[in-house]
Amino acid sequence: QQPVQSPQAVILREGEDAVINCSSSKALYSVHWYRQKHGEAPVFLMILLKGGEQKGHEKISASFNEKKQQSSLYLTASQLSYSGTYFCGTETPDSWGKLQFGAGTQVVVTP
């Protein structure tokens, strides 16, 4: 089952903050976040694992509420380079390796 993302789109000015949400109807083991710029491949941002472990490359923070089966990605002090479509991907405990992505949230950061 695919996770559900909200909002579908958000427009920000440089320096503003935004939150992207990802929710699942199933218990989750891990949540993954990727960003895809137009015409490019998705790029890894972060993994959040059940139990609290996090692994990420960029200065983007996220949270994982295991009880609510939800994750949120926080875009703080947004930069023009943050523009793109953000996808959350989820794995359940009984099907790891089967990373299923949501429909995406389009983020546009303007000067």
Partner 1 sequence: DAGVTQSPTHLIKTRGQQVTLRCSPKSGHDTVSWYQQALGQGPQFIFQYYEEEERQRGNFPDRFSGHQFPNYSSELNVNALLLGDSALYLCASSYRLADNTGELFFGEGSRLTVL
Residues contributing to the site for partner 1 (CB under 8 A): 2, 29-30, 32, 34, 40-44, 47, 49, 55, 87, 89, 91, 95-104
CA distance to 12, 19, 34, 51, per residue, from 91 (Å) = 30, 21, 14, 14
| Shorter beta-carbon distance to partner 1: residue 19 or 29 | 29
| Planar angle of CA 32, 62, 36, nearest 5 degrees | 50
| Shorter beta-carbon distance to partner 1: residue 13 or 55 | 55
Q: For the CB of residue 15, give the shortest distance to partner 1 in the complex, in Å.
A: 28
| Shorter beta-carbon distance to partner 1: residue 70 or 91 | 91
Residue 111 corresponds to which amino acid? P
Residue partners of 104: CB distance under 8 A and separation at least 6:
5, 8, 36, 85, 86, 87
Q: For the CB of residue 100, give the shortest distance to partner 1 in the complex, in Å.
A: 5
State the chain's maximal CA–CA distance in angstroms. 44
| Shorter beta-carbon distance to partner 1: residue 72 or 90 | 90
Q: For the CB of residue 18, give the shortest distance to partner 1 in the complex, in Å.
A: 19
Token readout for 3 is 């996770």
Q: For the CB of residue 93, give the shortest distance to partner 1 in the complex, in Å.
A: 9
